Amino acid sequence: MKSFSFGDSPEMGKELLDLVLQGRKTATAWAQVQGDFGTKVGGKMIIKDWQDRPRVLIETTELTCRPFNEVDKSFAHDEGEGDLSLEYWRREHQKYFIREGTFSDDMKVYCQRFKVIEILKI
């Protein structure tokens, strides 16, 4: 089964994982240039913490690929970060994608919505 960890640092990874565990984060996005990681609607994945421990089993409920500047406020809200606004989403994701070296205003991003199937014991 495919697995991944959020973010580009242990601090970010913990913050985003905590949002999933709280039920606030039900979506995530990544640069298309990274590939689709075999993600598909109905597919299951494991979210791991930065100590490589499986923490949450999720199922993909929606997967789209769209330009960064076309991500909408509904998706930004479902990402569960900050004040849930599109403005916050764009600002923080732009910073993230700049750090990755992938940012452009019209870059393609995979937008994945998911539901939690099981919180795994560590």
DSSP alpha helices (H): ranges in 8-104? 10-21, 73-79, 86-100
| β-bridge pairing 44-48 and 108-119 | unpaired
Of 10, 6, 27, 39, the residue nearest 116 (C-alpha): 27
Q: What tokens does 114 get? A: 């998911």
- Its CATH class, for the domain covering 2-119, is alpha beta
Q: What are the pLDDT digits (tens) for 19-42?
A: 999 999 999 999 999 999 999 999
Domain locations along the chain: 2-119
> pTM for the whole thing?
0.95
Q: What are the pLDDT digits (tens) for 60-108?
A: 999 999 999 999 999 999 999 999 999 999 999 999 999 999 999 999 9
